[in-house]
Amino acid sequence: MNNKTEISTWIFDLGNTLMAIPDEFDEEICLQKILGYTDTEQIRSIIYRLCDKFPSQNIELFLQRFDQAVNPTSDQNLNLMIRNAWMKSVESAQLKPGAWHILDKLRNAGMKLGLVSNTPPTSQYILDYLKLRDRFDIIVFSCDVGHLKPDPRIFKIVLEKFNVLPENTVIVGDKIRTDILGGAILGMRSILVEERLRCVVENGQNYVDAIIPKLTDLENTEFYKRLVK
């Protein structure tokens, strides 16, 4: 890291970075089985289409619109199964070990903290359930702004709100293409949380400044060591 670069802002991904939902309760997997779809991509496509068409919708409206999209006959039993799948996924969300500790240490070091996630409105429940909301200065969900990572525009929203430059910002996520790429294109520094420490080359380029196997290892990176004593 360039010694002259002063890091002032950290942007985190949500799913599989700060928290995780076990596969048996993952809403996309469960909904695929309930609806008999061939893969979760079909579910994901419906979710993102509804979020893109109706930005900033509240949770209840989103759930109603999702049910209308996949349950056109308004079958009440199916409606209940769909609703239960969404709610069970929220209740099953698990904080990654050390998440609160890392965020609180960064905040105590004077860092600005942002959360950027490709996610449906139901993740608002997860923020409260896992007590993550108050740990961030700015939260930007794709369902509210109409941009999906890796679209750099979703990262620009955070930069503009914080009034910071990309080079003064570190992004932390578990996927290169969706969590790292958009910010790296803008010039942000990046940390990839990758348990298997796989190759980090995307499109023939390395967009990652540091790789860590788990979130708590963030404390071993030079970015963190320079800020938190």
On the question of pLDDT at 1 being above 50, the answer is no
User: Are both 62 and 149 inside the same structural domain?
Assistant: no
| Domain span holding position 134 | 9-20+94-225
H helical segments located in 24-73:
27-35, 40-53, 59-70
Find the angle CA(27)-CA(45)-CA(174) to the nearest 5 degrees.
65
Residue 170, strand partner residues: 10, 189
On the question of pLDDT at 178 being above 70, the answer is yes
User: How far is the C-alpha of 217 from the C-alpha of 211, rounded, in Å?
Assistant: 9
Is-cis flag, bond preceding 22, omega within 30?
A: no
pLDDT digits (tens, 9 = 90+) for 19-65: 999 999 999 999 999 999 999 999 999 999 999 999 999 999 999 99
pTM for this predicted structure? 0.93
Is residue 4 domain-resident? no
Whether residue 140 contacts residue 113, with contact meaning beta carbons closer than 8 Å, is answered with: no
User: Six-digit token pair at 208?
Assistant: 């990652």
* Structure-token match 């490709």, residue found: 118
User: Are both 127 and 184 inside the same structural domain?
Assistant: yes
H helical segments located in 119-180:
123-129, 142-145, 152-162
User: Are both 49 and 128 inside the same structural domain?
Assistant: no
User: Are both 73 and 152 inside the same structural domain?
Assistant: no
User: Are both 54 and 112 inside the same structural domain?
Assistant: no
**In angstroms, how far is CA 14 from the centroid of its own chain?**
3
User: Are both 100 and 189 inside the same structural domain?
Assistant: yes
